[in-house]
Chain A
Amino acid sequence: MEARINKRKMVAYWLATLFVAVPGALSGGMDLLHVQPLFGIMLHLGYPGYFATILGLWKVAGAVVLVAPRSPLVKEWAYAGMFIDYSSAVFSHAASGDGPRTIANPAFAILALVVSWYLRPPSRRLA
Chain B
Amino acid sequence: MNRSRIRVIAYWVFTALVAYEMVAGAFWDLLHIEFTRVMMDRLRYPQYFPYVTGAWKLPCAMALVAPRFPRLKEWAYAGAFFNYYGAVASHFLSGDRGAWPIALALALFTIASWALRPPDRRLPAPAQTETVAASRWLVAAGVIGAMVVVSLLTLPRGPTP
Contact = CB atoms under 8 A, between A and B. Distances in A.
Contacts of A88: 52
A77 B124 CA distance: 15
State the majority secondary structure of interface residues on B. Answer: helix
Interface size class of B (residues with CB under 8 A): 20 to 34
B105 interface: no
A48 B82 contact: no
Given A48-B43, A76-B74, A84 B79 contact: yes
Interface string B72-115: 00110111001001100110011000000000000000000000
A48 B45 contact: yes
A1 interface: no
Given A91-B52, A95-B48, A54 B86 contact: yes
Given A76-B78, A80-B79, A127-B124, A48 B48 contact: no
B51 interface: yes
Interface in A36-67: 45-48, 50-51, 53-54, 58
B123 interface: yes
Contacts of A96: 46, 48
B44 interface: yes
B35 interface: no
A84 B59 CA distance: 13
Given A54-B90, A80-B78, A127-B125, A92 B43 contact: no
Contacts of A50: 89-90, 93-94
Interface residues of A, number: 24
Contacts of A76: 71, 74-75, 78, 123
Interface of B: 43-46, 48-49, 51-52, 56, 71, 74-75, 77-79, 82, 85-86, 89-90, 93-94, 123-125
Given A54-B85, A54-B89, 16 more contacts: A46-B46, A47-B46, A48-B45, A50-B89, A51-B45, A53-B93, A76-B74, A76-B123, A79-B75, A80-B78, A81-B82, A84-B82, A91-B48, A91-B51, A92-B52, A96-B46
8 contacts: A48-B44, A48-B94, A54-B93, A76-B71, A76-B75, A81-B79, A83-B75, A84-B56
